[in-house]
């Protein structure tokens, strides 16, 4: 046998554990999925970041040379870069900074810090902690077949509950984020033109923010509660915009951007920028000024 594909079992005991996919050939072994990462300031391929509640750490996805994601964290200055979960993506911090929620394939998991212990929570995508840390909101089509819905589940695990919106058919709701009062969610409505969808947890007081011929995605609710960040696309490159929760006062703050996430004080955001073929992390303030590469020029 000239080739054998071996999947090394995932180690969940420490943050430094690494799972790799290796091709064993007669001339040696080639591995991918946990490649060595260069130190800042020359890091590219980092995207979809979230800043810790104390502002000291950032968790983010990194795409290796094959396009496979893994979940990392690092200090805000790029030091102490650590691999958290091979194949993980979309990390979100608990309010006390002790855990992360993330995706591993189509499963939602939590990662305890600093031990790195991983717990399976539910099937779905885009988990995000409630302001009190007790609940995760996420998007899932299970147990239905068809468009995804908004769901909540105890952050410690348990029975998931669908947000009781009318349907089916439903609005293909994805990428939820909590209002800081914990009573409402904003999500991407993916049916038709992509738009921002707001609802209370009991499925009432719903509203939609949309712009003809433009897709609005990846909403993130300001910790101050007064603004939503989102990605606008269609006819131009992806751009980062802000809007009031009532749909007024749209303001562009960055071009060539995606995945906006707020710093805890609400004064600025960390975003992903695509410059040429290189993705990297940047910060920008709410006036659209002080656009700065997080860890130096890519």
Instruction: Classify residue 2 as exposed, middle or buried by CB count within 10 Å of its CB (0-12, 13-18, 19+).
Output: exposed
More confident residue, 19 or 241: 241
Domain count, the chain: 1
CB neighbours of residue 14 within 10 Å: 11
Q: Looking at 31-35, 132-136, 159-163, 227-231, which range is the least confident one?
A: 31-35
- What pLDDT, on the 0 to 100 scale, is given for residue 296? 72
Residue 238: which CATH number? 2.120.10.30
32 within some domain: no
184 within some domain: yes
215 within some domain: yes
pTM for this prediction? 0.85
**What percent of the chain shows pLDDT beyond 70?**
81
12 within some domain: no
Q: Rounded to an integer, what distance in angstroms lies between the CA atom of residue 17 and that of residue 19?
A: 7
Cα–Cα nearest to 102, from 44, 49, 144: 49
178 within some domain: yes
129 within some domain: no
Indicate the pLDDT class of residue 50, thresholds 50, 70 and 90. Answer: very high
72 within some domain: no
DSSP state of 11: P
59 within some domain: no
Structural domain of residue 206, as residue ranges?
163-290
Average pLDDT, the chain: 85
Indicate the pLDDT class of residue 43, thresholds 50, 70 and 90. Answer: low
pLDDT at 191 over 70: yes
């Amino acid at each position: 046998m000239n080739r054998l594909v071996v999947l090394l079992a995932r180690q969940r005991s420490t943050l430094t554990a690494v799972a790799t996919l290796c091709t064993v050939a007669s001339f040696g072994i080639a591995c991918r999925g946990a490649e060595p990462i260069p130190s800042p300031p020359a890091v590219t391929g980092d995207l979809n970041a979230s800043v810790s509640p104390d502002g000291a750490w950032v968790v983010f996805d990194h795409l290796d040379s094959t396009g496979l994601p893994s979940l990392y964290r690092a200090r805000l200055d790029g030091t102490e870069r650590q691999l958290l979960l091979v194949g993980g993506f979309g990390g979100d911090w608990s309010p006390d900074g002790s855990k992360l929620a993330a995706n591993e394939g189509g499963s939602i998991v939590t990662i305890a810090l600093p031990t790195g212990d991983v717990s399976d929570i539910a099937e779905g995508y885009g988990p995000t902690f409630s302001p009190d840390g007790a609940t995760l909101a996420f998007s899932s089509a299970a147990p239905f077949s068809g468009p995804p819905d908004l769901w909540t589940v105890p952050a410690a695990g348990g029975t998931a509950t669908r947000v009781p919106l009318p349907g089916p058919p439903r609005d293909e709701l994805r990428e939820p984020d909590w209002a800081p009062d914990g009573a409402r969610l904003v999500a991407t409505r993916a049916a038709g033109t992509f738009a921002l969808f707001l609802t209370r947890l009991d499925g009432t007081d719903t509203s939609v923010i949309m712009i003809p011929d433009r897709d609005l995605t990846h909403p993130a609710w300001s910790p101050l509660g007064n603004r939503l960040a989102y990605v606008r696309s269609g006819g131009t490159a992806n751009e980062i915009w802000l809007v009031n929760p009532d749909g007024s006062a749209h303001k562009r703050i960055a071009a060539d951007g995606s995945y906006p996430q707020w710093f805890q004080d609400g004064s600025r955001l960390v975003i992903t920028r695509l410059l040429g073929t290189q993705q990297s992390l940047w910060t920008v303030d709410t006036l659209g000024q002080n656009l700065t590469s997080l860890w130096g020029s890519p």
